[in-house]
Structure 1
Amino acid sequence: MAEIITMPKLGFDMAEGTLVRWLKAEGEPVAKGEILAEIETDKATVEVESTHSGIVHRLLVEAGAVVPVGTPIAVIGAPGESIEEILPGEQPHQGMEKEMPTQAPSQAAEEALSVPEIETTGGLAGERIKASPLARRIAREYQIDLRQVHGTGPGGRIVRRDVEAALAIQPKVAEPAVSAQPVGATPSAIPVLAWQPIGQVPEDQRLPVDRLRSIIARRMVESKQQVPHFYITREYDMRALMDLRKALNAELPEDQKLSVNDFIIKAVALTLRQFPALNAALVGNEIVRYGHINIGVAVALESGLMTVVCRDADLKPLRLISQEMKEMSARARQGRVRPEDIEGSTFSISNLGMFGVEHFVAIINPPEAAILAVGAVREVPVVQDGVLGVGIRMKATLSADHRVTDGAEAARFMQLLAEFLEHPFRLVL
């Protein structure tokens, strides 16, 4: 019997997703477990497997469409099977074969059937202009007259690519040349400098906010507005850890060498065993203290940040933590993360040490109760027993939710973390 495939729920807070592209075409066979499509969620682009085997009879949603969770997106059945009786009402399938090969995902998203066609009134009496909401917004932003734009969408509707094409041929306004002018009387001994710009000054750029950046913006604003943050910073002596890392890496092949962050993940996870209030979340009127210790680690991408999750980090050896982090980070940068890579973190770490950052504070990733911001390991002057010398130090700052924990408890957490970072042999026992 034919089966309807629906937009899956790939996270507890996911309400909709963008169908980036289909990996199976109509008429192609697909086996249960094969990759059917790529779905972009609030956090990442995820490969979605088919839940049934058979022939792809009908693709109900175009590539690029923003689709609510649970909405039918495809029909899979046996060869030659009739599917008309199970099709959910009027379908956007007509003309789809013609549109899909030429539409980029970013263009097709604004033409998704979940967005109704909008008609706007032009400047002339009775004139009606059909345009998508995104096309109207771009035209308004760049002051483009939609009456002068030729629509190429269904029924002559103006879509994003039409407005962008009009924007590309819009005449540029020449900027006046810049010349240096003396500001006042100057001593005759100091000549007035004559300055002429070399080459042309680049034009201002207006870039649309992509999905990942918009999600980061929304979640961070919510966090800062709704979560009462407080911060605790501590400096750690990292000489013993750096010596241990050097000794261990001398015995490991190049692709298995341990990073400083691998040690920090393990140390934080072991410390959280003693501080369950920080491995927690405020959900409604309850504080949920998690049994598993899943450490989320921020990974820098070109379009923003993504958090990948090392599950049960307190139970895993350093080499396994290192291997998993390398694999998940690589998938994140390639846009091929799995749902389990990004879901379920209970505490987060943001490490900017590789960029030479000495100290910073991070914003809590809701609904978690805390996040640790880690700076660079640096050689600094230190005074020990009245003697000035060279030490190896690292600063870290804990951002915590004051609704869930308090300053004294957070300070004790940072104190116990020092026991693991400054006596790193405990991390390998």
Structure 2
Amino acid sequence: MAVEVVMPKLGMSMKEGTVSYWNKHVGDVVNKGELLAGISSEKIETDLEAPVDGTLLEIAVQEGNGVPPGTPICFIGNPDEKLATLVTPQTEAAENMGTNVEEETTSIQDTSNEKQSIKASPIAKKMAEKAGLNLEQIKGSGPNGRITKEDVLHAIEKRKKQKLEQEQPVNTHDPRSVNKTTISGMRKVIATRMQESLLHSAQLTINMKADVTDLIHLQKSLREELQDESKLSLNDFISRAVVLTLMKHKNMNSALINDAIESFEHVHLGIAVALENGLVVPVVRHAETCSLLELSKTIKTLAKQARAGQLTTEQISGSTFTITNLGSYGVEHFTPILNTPETGILGVGAVTETPVFVGEELQRRSILPLSLTFDHRVLDGAPAAEFLKSIKQLLEKPYQILLSQS
């Protein structure tokens, strides 16, 4: 007597199972335990083994079609066996599912006569429907070309990629009108150092303004008295003020090296010099031992050597603090980047003539913007502000710059 093979129940909540693929054809000999078909529910995919030895007499449910658990999907028996004798078992299975025998039989016959649908697992069908994908345009990678969950995911990603490519602006520039310069030499070194500086330190910039009206008057007076001996610039006074302040605020004259803060007894002052193709920072060593005139002469000599490309490696290394001045370009406040491993760098902006109340009187004053970038890992905002305030005080009382000792 032929045996009906029914759709198994793969879970308590399973209402329908789908034949993913058939591993055997009608008329094939099957052995007990041999792979008969692949079946799936919304959550599970598994193999269906033949329960007995025999011949596959009929396939009742085609690939890709779903039926309730307990529904016969195929019949196994002797080669010459008639399926009419299977009415009772089929009826019993239908009754167990609480369905009408005639309706169930009709359903099976109708299914067998249906046009073969697209082969896809239930999960794949739901995913494709939710994503608005047409299954006919998806190539299946499963057995017999069955569309799997992975195939749908791949189709979704492919559609996303195509959409992004379509949204990207079209480059309408004529390639011949675009000049490309490969970063190399000094520019490459600068780019690398600036990136490393930002990556490996906690940089914060604070700003302050100094009234340098009296300082400018002093500078002009000294120029007239010294005549050709030395042309003291505003930057010379600022540099001297920074050196004096660093000797009092040694926490700024430091560097964080190998998780240890190293404070320096001597000031090796770096002065940024702009070149045609980049930037160099020559170093005034032991700047605390220099008078204002000596500091001015050394800075000018180093700047001249820098522009002539005559600086040695020793002359551009070992600084403990740096000054960078963009005042000649009309820049006011800006954000300097640390010359690591230094703790601080002072940015100097352009002097602007500004009306300021001095007591009850409105006066025209020369205001100098200062920008201090410091490593927040080494010191906090308050001591950094005290350092900048000390520079401001010296610049606003310029005779202290001349009289103070390092």
TM-score (norm 1): 0.52
Q: Secondary structure at the match of 1:380?
A: strand
Alignment correspondent of 2:196 = 222
Find the aligned partners of 2:354 and 2:389 in 1 and give their Cα distance: 21
1:205 aligns with 2:205: no
TM-superposed CA distance for 1:372, in Å, is 0.5
The one of 263, 283, 286 equivalent to 2:257 is 283
Find the aligned partners of 2:336 and 2:330 in 1 and give their Cα distance: 16
Alignment correspondent of 1:312 = 286
- What residue identity is the alignment partner of 2:208? R
1:395 aligns with 2:377: no
1:240 aligns with 2:211: no
- What residue identity is the alignment partner of 1:359? H
Alignment correspondent of 1:345 = 319
Q: Secondary structure at the match of 2:365?
A: strand
TM-superposed CA distance for 1:339, in Å, is 2.9
1:323 aligns with 2:310: no
Q: Secondary structure at the match of 2:219?
A: helix
TM-superposed CA distance for 1:256, in Å, is 2.0
TM-superposed CA distance for 1:244, in Å, is 0.8
- What residue identity is the alignment partner of 2:366? I
The residue correspondences of 1:378-393 to structure 2 (distance < 5 A) are 378-393=352-367
1:264 aligns with 2:238: yes
TM-superposed CA distance for 1:414, in Å, is 1.1
Find the aligned partners of 1:312 and 1:241 in 2 and give their Cα distance: 25
TM-superposed CA distance for 1:356, in Å, is 1.3
Q: In structure 2, list runs of 5 or more residues that go unmatched.
A: 1-172
- What residue identity is the alignment partner of 1:423? K
Find the aligned partners of 2:225 and 2:364 in 1 and give their Cα distance: 27
TM-superposed CA distance for 1:251, in Å, is 1.9
The one of 372, 390, 400 equivalent to 1:416 is 390
Alignment correspondent of 1:249 = 223
- What residue identity is the alignment partner of 2:262? V
Alignment correspondent of 1:355 = 329
- What residue identity is the alignment partner of 1:310? V
Find the aligned partners of 2:229 and 2:236 in 1 and give their Cα distance: 14
TM-superposed CA distance for 1:338, in Å, is 2.2
Q: Secondary structure at the match of 2:319?
A: coil
Q: Secondary structure at the match of 1:227?
A: coil
Alignment correspondent of 2:309 = 335
Q: Secondary structure at the match of 1:360?
A: coil
TM-superposed CA distance for 1:418, in Å, is 1.8
Rg bigger for which structure? 2
What does the per-residue CA deviation read over 1:85-108, in whole Å, with 9 as the maximum and x for residues that have no partner?
Answer: xxxxxxxxxxxxxxxxxxxxxxxx
- Count of aligned pairs between the two proteins: 232
Find the aligned partners of 1:309 and 1:387 in 2 and give their Cα distance: 43
The residue correspondences of 1:183-202 to structure 2 (distance < 5 A) are none
Find the aligned partners of 1:337 and 1:255 in 2 and give their Cα distance: 25
- Contact 1:294 1:309 (C-alpha < 8 Å) held by counterparts: yes
Q: Secondary structure at the match of 1:393?
A: strand
Alignment correspondent of 1:371 = 345
What does the per-residue CA deviation read over 1:311-338, in whole Å, with 9 as the maximum and x for residues that have no partner?
Answer: 2222211111111111111111111112
What does the per-residue CA deviation read over 1:43-92, in whole Å, with 9 as the maximum and x for residues that have no partner?
Answer: xxxxxxxxxxxxxxxxxxxxxxxxxxxxxxxxxxxxxxxxxxxxxxxxxx
Find the aligned partners of 2:328 and 2:229 in 1 and give their Cα distance: 18
- Contact 1:265 1:313 (C-alpha < 8 Å) held by counterparts: no
1:404 aligns with 2:404: no
What does the per-residue CA deviation read over 1:15-64, in whole Å, with 9 as the maximum and x for residues that have no partner?
Answer: xxxxxxxxxxxxxxxxxxxxxxxxxxxxxxxxxxxxxxxxxxxxxxxxxx
- What residue identity is the alignment partner of 1:372? L
Q: Secondary structure at the match of 2:282?
A: strand
**What is the aligned-residue RMSD (CA, Å)?**
2.0
TM-superposed CA distance for 1:384, in Å, is 2.7
- What residue identity is the alignment partner of 1:242? I
Find the aligned partners of 2:229 and 2:327 in 1 and give their Cα distance: 21
Q: Secondary structure at the match of 1:412?
A: helix
Alignment correspondent of 1:86 = none
> If each structure's helix is expressed as a fraction of its own residues, which one has the higher value?
2
What does the per-residue CA deviation read over 1:346-372, in whole Å, with 9 as the maximum and x for residues that have no partner?
Answer: 000110011111111100011100101
Q: Secondary structure at the match of 2:225?
A: coil
TM-superposed CA distance for 1:253, in Å, is 3.6
Q: Secondary structure at the match of 1:256?
A: coil
Find the aligned partners of 2:312 and 2:199 in 1 and give their Cα distance: 30
Find the aligned partners of 1:334 and 1:342 in 2 and give their Cα distance: 14
TM-superposed CA distance for 1:255, in Å, is 6.6
Q: Secondary structure at the match of 2:235?
A: helix
Find the aligned partners of 1:245 and 1:392 in 2 and give their Cα distance: 13
TM-superposed CA distance for 1:383, in Å, is 2.4
Find the aligned partners of 1:327 and 1:371 in 2 and give their Cα distance: 21
What does the per-residue CA deviation read over 1:161-200, in whole Å, with 9 as the maximum and x for residues that have no partner?
Answer: xxxxxxxxxxxxxx99xxxxxxxxxxxxxxxxxxxxxxxx
TM-superposed CA distance for 1:206, in Å, is 1.4
Find the aligned partners of 1:413 and 1:395 in 2 and give their Cα distance: 15
Find the aligned partners of 1:423 and 1:312 in 2 and give their Cα distance: 24
- What residue identity is the alignment partner of 1:291? E
- Comparing 386-395 with 272-281, greater Cα deviation is found at 386-395
Alignment correspondent of 1:274 = 248
TM-superposed CA distance for 1:280, in Å, is 0.3
Q: Secondary structure at the match of 2:217?
A: helix
Find the aligned partners of 2:366 and 2:376 in 1 and give their Cα distance: 32
